[in-house]
Amino acid sequence: MQVEGSSAIVFGGASGLGQASVRRLHEHGARVTIADLNEDKGGALADELGDEASFVKTDVTQADEVEAAVAAASAAEGGLRINVCCAGVGWAEKLAGKRGPHQLQPFETVIGINLIGTFNALRFAAVAMLGNEPYAEGERGVCINTASAAAYDGQIGQIAYSASKGGIVGMTLPAARDLSSSGIRVVTIAPGLFNTPLFALLPQEQRDALGATVPFPNRLGEPPEFAQLVQSIVENPMLNGEVIRLDGALRMAPR
């Protein structure tokens, strides 16, 4: 599938990996809908990009808002062809400790945003893509999810985050199989340590130390490298039902 001329939606598109994906897709000729909770950042990005970019305020945990964002992206000629979900949050807390068991509410929040939010984006985008006219090989669309290396190498205090990202990994193959007869592909990217706004809050010395744990390249990943893979997935029809680790061969230590 070609990026140029396609309608795309990026959930969590106002910052970090999502913003890089928005920029890459737009640069290569896609009409991009930025779906994010942050109105200031999302609106500013749409204004900066200008033509063929728009913003829709979206909470991925709210089904009606996700459905409305998908409908907006689907209104473009040719229908929605590319769905990218980068919306996510983290939480640090051990399963049990001196203060007692892990709190339930933050666990539910992380699962709600990361896993259920991804599920919402996936299910509504897939329904929209079912109505598309297929291309020559029968392809109607592609959905790209964001998991994490933590789905495999969860560290101390990452039980909520790892569970949410592991759920995304687990959804990938059955989702691809569910949609295969309709020509809709599903692929997940599992990034390692990336230089996102979350890491920008850390002192440079600490960021350098984290980057030094990556075998090669010996640094943090950059969001445009994530976005480059997004484009490659869109354009390569044989990428389907797969989770791709994008981590420089990193295997995270317990802490």
| Strand ranges (E), 110-204 | 141-146, 184-191
Beta carbons of 223 and 180 less than 8 angstroms apart: no
Q: Which of 161, 184, 192, 221 is catalytic?
A: 161
| Cα separation, 133 vs 113, whole angstroms | 31
Pairing label, strands 141-146, 184-191: parallel
Beta carbons of 135 and 82 less than 8 angstroms apart: no
Identify the CA nearest to 78 among candidates 1, 122, 133: 133
Residue with tokens 């939480």: 91
| 173-207 exposure pattern, b = at least 16 Cβ within 10 A, e = fewer | eebbeebeeebbbbbbbbbbbbbbeeeeeeeeeeb
161 is catalytic: yes
Catalytic residue positions, numbered? 161
